[in-house]
């Protein structure tokens, strides 16, 4: 009788070990399937400079579009602007259609990579519509130095 119990415990241990191994394998498969672009970092300009991000590494750059920095190039589809967290600035170049809510002084999240000259070549630009709510970790580093353009205009 005791020999049967030992074999039951062994069977349970084998089943439990197999289940844990299958679960770990499933989690790893999901992570590899989502890997690459979908697991990119979100960084503000000062974090990019602190971490010395290498050219070509994809990440998301977030911050405010610096007032007076927006330029539309002659081809009509390429835009240049500066993303700032009021402590550091990163020049951004984007070719495509900008979202309707995009404007200077507004929050923006861009996705792309730095080129060899330090310009962030964005392939995606998302405009944030409201500055009243900002998720933790996305507030500008130097909030006192940042002033929303509508607030400065007295709206």
Query: Residue 35's pLDDT is what?
Result: 62
Reported as a single tens digit per residue, the pLDDT across 41-78 is 888 898 898 988 889 989 999 888 888 999 999 998 99
CA separation for the pair 31, 25 (Å, rounded): 10
Helices (H), the chain: 2-34, 45-51, 149-152
pLDDT given for residue 115 in this prediction? 93
Digit-coded pLDDT (tens) for 15-34 = 999 999 999 999 988 877 76
As to burial, measured by CB atoms within 10 angstroms (0-12 exposed, 13-18 middle, 19+ buried), residue 65 is buried
User: Are 100 and 106 within 8 A, CB to CB?
Assistant: no
Closest of 107, 109, 110, 116 to residue 143, by C-alpha:
107
């Amino acid at each position: 009788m005791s020999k049967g119990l030992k074999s039951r415990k062994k069977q349970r241990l084998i089943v439990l070990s197999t289940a844990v191994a299958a679960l770990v394998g499933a989690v790893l498969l999901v992570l590899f399937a989502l890997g690459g672009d979908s697991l990119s970092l979100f960084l503000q300009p000062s974090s990019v400079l602190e971490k010395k991000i290498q050219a070509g590494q994809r990440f998301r750059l977030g911050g405010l579009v610096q007032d007076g920095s927006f330029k539309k190039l002659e081809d009509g589809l390429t835009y240049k602007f500066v993303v700032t967290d009021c402590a550091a600035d990163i020049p951004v170049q984007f070719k495509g259609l900008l979202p309707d809510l995009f404007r200077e002084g507004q929050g923006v999240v861009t996705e792309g990579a730095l080129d060899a000259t330090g310009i962030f070549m964005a392939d995606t630009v998302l405009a944030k519509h409201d500055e009243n709510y900002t998720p933790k970790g996305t507030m500008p580093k130097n909030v006192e130095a940042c002033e929303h353009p509508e607030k400065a205009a007295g709206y």
